[in-house]
Amino acid sequence: MHTPSKNPDPAVVSTESVASVGKTFAILDAIGQYGPVGISALAQRLDMSKTTVHRLLQTLRGLGYVEQESDTERYRLTIRLFQLGAQALENVDLVREADKEMRQIAQQTRETVHLGAFDEDSIIYIHKIDADYGLRMQSRIGRRNPLYSTAIGKVLLAWRSPEEAREILTRVEFKKLTARTLTSAEAVLNILPSVRRQGYGEDDEEQEEGLRCLAVPIFDRLGFVAAGLSISFPSIRCSADTRTHYIEMLKQAGAAASARLGYRAG
């Protein structure tokens, strides 16, 4: 006798997931529109069951997006949504303010230029200008790459305290991507003081064989490193003079973008 499979239909699971996401955002939107509200009122306004509303609210509460008032038991939004919006605006500002410098570097060097920001235990590319040459890198906007094997990652770590950098690296799974990849937190921590002292980070074929990268920090108005600005190029095109020229070019661009974000060097 044939026994039906107990595995759920992926299409059904996907549809249910999309529906749950839609209901979750509907709840957030309703609380934002009406202010603190109880489960019964939310369920009525959104035409959902109270069980569903309660389940989704508990998930949002656990994630820190809503909180429950102790006296009325109504739910309201927390500042976390504002923080997310502020981060999004900050990245928009970063891209806008860095774009001019990135295009100038790309025009002068014909190489690939990246803008990358910190994302939990990785970097994420938020802007990119491709090389005029035939080289096409694996990177793309929205893609994550490791902190430990990229020039941008080293820059994003170097201006943090040693304790914070160490804590971040404890969450990282190190993988040997090339023969030159650093494969431990200690190896990365050992080079961060020199990265900060010299004012730039370097990836010497640590992420991709045959490819080098140089990066400098971009500071926000509070003096924090908001992003890393980098130039990537094949090792065969990296003479000592070229490297020195690229570093100076990046430092000037990083300083200009930082100034437009409100940073004032001490």
57 touches 27 (CB < 8 A): yes
Residue 219: φ, ψ to 5°: -100, 145
Q: Label residue 141 left, alpha or beta by phi (over 0 means left) and psi (-120 to 50 means alpha).
A: beta
Q: Are 67 and 93 found together in one domain?
A: no
Q: Which amino acid appears at position 29 of this protein?
A: D
For residue 209, the SS3 value is: coil
- 81-85, 95-99, 140-144, 172-176 — most confident range: 172-176
- Pair (67, 90) in one structural domain: no
Considering the domain boundaries, does residue 67 fall inside one? Answer: yes
Which CATH number do you get for residue 151? 3.30.450.40
What would the mean pLDDT of 121-133 be, rounded to a whole number?
A: 86
Look up residue 106 and give its two tokens.
Answer: 């790309």
Closest residue by Cα to residue 238 from 203, 200, 192: 203
In degrees, to the nearest 5, what angle opens at C-alpha 104 toward C-alphas 137 and 203? 40
pLDDT of residue 92: 58
| Residues 73 and 131 grouped into a single domain | no
Domain that holds residue 54: 10-78
Task: Reply yes or no on whether the pLDDT at 14 is more than 80.
Answer: no
Query: Tokens standing for 4?
Result: 């039906």
Give 2's pLDDT tier (boundaries 50, 70, 90). very low
- 223 occurs within a structural domain: yes
**Number of domains composing the chain:** 2
Confidence of residue 1 (pLDDT cuts 50, 70, 90): very low
Tell me, yes or no, whether 172 lies in a domain: yes
Q: What proportion of the chain, given as a percentage, has pLDDT over 70?
A: 88
- Model's pTM, two decimal places? 0.66
**Cα–Cα distance, 210 to 207 (Å, whole number):** 9
Q: Find out whether 115 and 229 touch, Cβ atoms under 8 Å.
A: yes
DSSP state of 176: -
Q: What is the pLDDT of residues 210-233, one digit of tens each?
A: 999 999 999 988 899 999 999 999
Query: Of 52, 78, 104, which marks where a domain is finished?
Result: 78
Looking up residue 74, the CATH number of its domain turns out to be 1.10.10.10
